[in-house]
Chains A and B, each alone.
Chain A
């Protein structure tokens, strides 16, 4: 009887842990892949070639001996459709995301020259900002400010929409920081980015 009690309490505990783990898990590697796909589309082929993503520790559940047990428990308690939804994946195929992506891609044709001359740079939080106003002719300053404001509006909307479309609005900041890293990683040589509060050039 004691053994049964111990078994059942362990089982319940494991189920609880399993459920909680699924709910809080942010699929970092999938988010990076999703970000890369969008960035490559927006910036075009001349962005730097895709770097080998570091294999990340996905979740405690799939490591070690207890993983098999945990997964089989999951298969038992979660229906196949739900289990599929819980696999680490980030969906970026929605009309809203596509619409923003297309706008950003069109705008990039105007922004590109300003990245190259260092007039604008990538911020640590996945946005863009005017880095060196001197590099922009007086007459064009407000136009560039407008481009930067529109780009940031779209970027913020993109991060929020990816999080919402994937059913996790609370992932927005994780998605934003994933993008922030990937924008910098994919930036062309000579472009500027913020790191640790100061500007660096690729």
Chain B
């Protein structure tokens, strides 16, 4: 202890019980005072102390204090104790400004026991009151500050913060009051217990980018923490029940969906290890979450999250939809319930979703699923987790899908079928033998499957897709389908049995199936088709013979053909009977833009059908224009039907090479929808 008095005057003026003491400069450890004056009077209630100093230098963070004035009107000094029943302290400090504090002190110096009450400390535009109890090495602070202005509090705290913390705070605008009450106790420089209540009635916070905003938010926070050997045992209770908040991309309206959070746990002060034993978050009308955690801010050792059975529509609106804006699932109507279990240990996790009578409807009418029930499991552990899901029905664009059950298992971030999966489509089935899904959402994510399509009535397919009514069966083997980078590719070829012939679809690729403009690419090879069945199907008028064709470079944009190179013709060396009816000739000429009924006006009307050698048409579609050609060049045109065989024979020649595609489609539709030949007399 160092005590230096550079100048000392002691004046005892008279016997009127006044003592005056003036000290020019005084130092005690880190404290230095200038022009210190003491004035002690004897009063009826004890002593009256009046002390003044021009300036006192205190240790950081308070620093220099000027115009210090301490007055105690009821100072009682006894052998083992002293008290000041009514005192005031005023001073000026750079950050705290001019302060005038009233106080009471009781002390027993021998036992190092003191009680100090202060009131009127002005901080952050609020008046603090506090009681400090000191007992030897133990201390306790009980404080209460109503209407603490947060902005002023930050400003007042700013000089004591590090530059980095200050720069972060500068990015935020904060408005609002806090009501603070705290009861903090400790020993020497250690805090042992904290009991704190914080409440805001209208908190407005925004960052510079406006990515995190609160408007008129009411928060109440209670924290109770006890420190035992650097191990903090804590519990907290938080309520947010007024206002709105946006934290990119989540929006919460606390008026409609107030939040409560209750949690307790342990925090190891020295290692930074955190244990949350039992956290319960309740967002009214939306979700109830329970969680526990072991680890630190940087590292998760163990995490368990359980979402109790919740309405899926509320979960989607509040917590899922904001994250999937712009994707295929950002416009859903949902119903049903969902619960979730998530477990993580270090970097390994498993997730289990339980779906209960969930209905999914895409607002853009691309897909829908009715009544999905079951469990979906996903894990990156190398032991399997089972999935068992079923639904009543579904639709994918215009394709109806029936009830089905999926049994699968997940292991090491991938999913595969436990048994073959039958998906009813129209009146047939897509039998998926093998399905593999790996690392969804990651850069190298992909899924593949192979399966088989059991016969589907083309009547149903054509009706659903708005095509002319087709007869026959669609079936095929799907050798391998993969999805990668928003593109579905059918490796190998899809075969379809149509009109007694075989149709092979190869190089099938679907880009962005749920994007703004789905693109479908394919090459189609048609062989050995029975023209008789085909012409009946389209009600075109009978044609006998065989037909083969190719559609190369087919591209459908938004499910409509925009590009193709197609030709259909009688195969070379076809030995079958080649006959074409009057109706078919008429319709062919109408498709070609001619006027039907030309035959009826000539003597040829007496013949029902005609022999032909070859027939065929080709179309190169670009920019809504079909560049047409036939089976051979004719004078100023091309042969659509080239006569041959037994008489009567007939040639049909097309003269228009460039045909407007929508016109051509309209003509084809008109022909297939008309009941018979139009006879012009």
Chain A residues within CB distance 8 Å of chain B = 81, 85, 91, 93-96, 99-100, 103, 132-134, 138-139, 141-142, 145-146, 149-150, 152-154, 156-158, 160-161, 164-167
Say yes or no for B517: interface residue by CB 8 A criterion. Answer: yes
Q: Which 3 A-B pairs have the closest CB atoms?
A: A149-B326, A96-B557, A157-B516
In the complex, A142→B253 CA distance in Å?
13
Could you tell me if A142 and B322 are in contact, using CB atoms closer than 8 angstroms?
Answer: yes
Say yes or no for B574: interface residue by CB 8 A criterion. Answer: no
Say yes or no for B228: interface residue by CB 8 A criterion. Answer: no
Interface of A is mostly: helix
- CB-CB contacts of B624-656 with A at 8 A, as 1s and 0s? 100100000000000000000000000000000
Say yes or no for B45: interface residue by CB 8 A criterion. Answer: no
In the complex, A171→B157 CA distance in Å?
59
Could you tell me if A95 and B325 are in contact, using CB atoms closer than 8 angstroms?
Answer: no
Chain B residues within CB distance 8 Å of chain A = 206, 209-211, 213, 215, 244-246, 249, 251, 253, 321-322, 325-326, 330, 512, 515-517, 519, 555, 557-558, 560, 562-563, 622-624, 627, 657-658
Q: Which residues of A contact B657 (CB under 8 A)?
A: 81
Identify A96's interface contact among B249, B330, B558, CB under 8 A: B558
In the complex, A149→B323 CA distance in Å?
12
Q: Which residues of A contact B322 (CB under 8 A)?
A: 142, 145
Nearest chain-A residue to B627 (Cβ)?
A81
Q: Which residues of A contact B206 (CB under 8 A)?
A: 134
Query: Assuming the A-B contacts A133-B209, A142-B322, are A95 and B251 also in contact, with contact meaning beta carbons closer than 8 angstroms in the complex?
Result: no
Nearest chain-A residue to B244 (Cβ)?
A138
Could you tell me if A95 and B326 are in contact, using CB atoms closer than 8 angstroms?
Answer: no
Closest CB-CB distance, B633 to chain A, in whole Å? Answer: 14
Could you tell me if A133 and B210 are in contact, using CB atoms closer than 8 angstroms?
Answer: yes
In the complex, A81→B623 CA distance in Å?
14
Could you tell me if A94 and B517 are in contact, using CB atoms closer than 8 angstroms?
Answer: no
Could you tell me if B326 and A153 are in contact, using CB atoms closer than 8 angstroms?
Answer: yes
Query: Assuming the A-B contacts A99-B558, A134-B210, A146-B325, are A94 and B251 also in contact, with contact meaning beta carbons closer than 8 angstroms in the complex?
Result: no
Nearest chain-A residue to B326 (Cβ)?
A149
Query: Assuming the A-B contacts A96-B517, A138-B245, A141-B246, are A166 and B623 also in contact, with contact meaning beta carbons closer than 8 angstroms in the complex?
Result: yes
Closest CB-CB distance, B105 to chain A, in whole Å? Answer: 50
Q: Which residues of B contact A153 (CB under 8 A)?
A: 326, 515-516
In the complex, A145→B326 CA distance in Å?
8
Identify B560's interface contact among A96, A154, A160, CB under 8 A: A96
In the complex, A95→B246 CA distance in Å?
40
Q: Which residues of B contact A100 (CB under 8 A)?
A: 516-517
Could you tell me if A138 and B213 are in contact, using CB atoms closer than 8 angstroms?
Answer: yes
Interchain residue pairs with CB less than 8 A apart (19): A81-B657, A91-B623, A94-B562, A94-B623, A95-B557, A95-B560, A100-B517, A103-B516, A132-B210, A134-B210, A138-B215, A139-B244, A141-B249, A141-B251, A142-B251, A150-B326, A153-B326, A164-B557, A165-B557
